[in-house]
Amino acid sequence: MFGVVPKSMWNKLNPADENNMCSWAMRCLLVQDGKRLILIDNGMGNKQDAKFFGYYYLHGDNSLEKSLAAHGFTTDDITDVFLTHLHFDHCGGSIKWNADRTKYVPAFKNAIYWSNPLHWEWAVKPNAREKASFLKENILPIQESGQLQMIKGNGETQVPFSVLYVNGHTESMMLPKIIYKKRPVVFCADLLPARWHIPLPYVMAYDVRPLETLKEKERLLIEFAGTNTVLFFEHDPNVECATIKQTEGRIVLENTHSLKELFS
């Protein structure tokens, strides 16, 4: 998760357990726009076997269904599922077993699923490095259901927010930029998984083009610093959102917040 940064440094931020593993969130974002209820990413789901989950040690009591219910919704209420990219921890909840576990079906039966042509092609014909992250059971049933559509351009004619494309982590990952109460909120996906990834050298070893990630981070952080833009973190175990500022030629964390604190 921290790439070339030595463990002696990153372990102070998110201490590892005896298996050299850290705790991370799979935080999704629900956007309500008129009659549309748009879910951005959906975690890894629960349909994989015990061997698979033995690698990742899911823990805690949170679930997507519980979180939706807390706001008065169910999976049937979701009209759109926007997938930043198709790695299993971002799209695994898209598909579930049917009642008798004989076939895969969409977990959001009334939703349009949004990807983009470049990333879809990349995911269904995976390279050897990413093959373990692009699981066909998470991806192909979306297309087979007839519920898949492709984002084109900046996305604003298809979803009620703009889309920023980045290519360092994987081909054509999409970052939603939502204007809420006149304030930009950027869903950072795996460009900035957590607040600890704001410093430029903190680039994940998962990234297929780490030098491209460096350039993309620098460009966007400079663009967002000091503008009141909210960065929404998908994987930070403790912090939902942050703002950043530029000081002495560096981009640094300014303040951390919850969405409720920012917009209540």
Backbone angles phi, psi at 84, to 5 degrees: -60, -40
Has residue 1 been placed in a domain? no
* Proportion of the chain above pLDDT 90, given as a percent: 91
Q: At 170, list the tokens.
A: 């994987």
d(CA 111, CA 215): 35
| pTM of the predicted structure, to 2 decimals | 0.96
- For residue 116, give its domain range: 7-263
The alpha helices in the chain, defined as continuous H runs, are: 7-10, 50-56, 64-70, 88-91, 117-124, 136-144, 210-224, 259-263
Closest CA to 200 of 229, 180, 220: 220
Could you read off the pLDDT of 53-92 as tens digits, one per residue? 888 888 888 899 999 999 999 999 999 999 999 999 999 9
Q: What is the pLDDT of residue 58?
A: 86
Q: Is residue 2 part of a domain?
A: no
Instruction: Report the alpha-carbon distance of residue 94 to residue 111 in Å, rounded.
Output: 10
Name residue 173's beta-bridge partners.
166
- Interval 156-187: pLDDT, tens: 999 999 999 999 999 999 999 999 999 999 99
94: its two tokens: 């898209």
Q: What is the pLDDT of residue 55?
A: 87
**Per-residue pLDDT tens for 102-149?**
999 999 999 999 999 999 999 999 999 999 999 999 999 999 999 999
- CATH code for position 80: 3.60.15.10
Residue 252 to residue 131: CA distance in whole angstroms: 34
Count up the domains in the chain and report the number. 1
CA distance 10 to 118: 33
At which residue do the structure tokens 């995911």 appear? 123
Amino acid at 70: A
Q: Has residue 242 been placed in a domain?
A: yes
**Distance set, CA 166 to CA 190, 196, 249 (Å):** 10, 19, 24
What does the pLDDT read at residue 60? Answer: 87
- Measured CA to CA, the distance from residue 73 to residue 77 in angstroms comes to 6
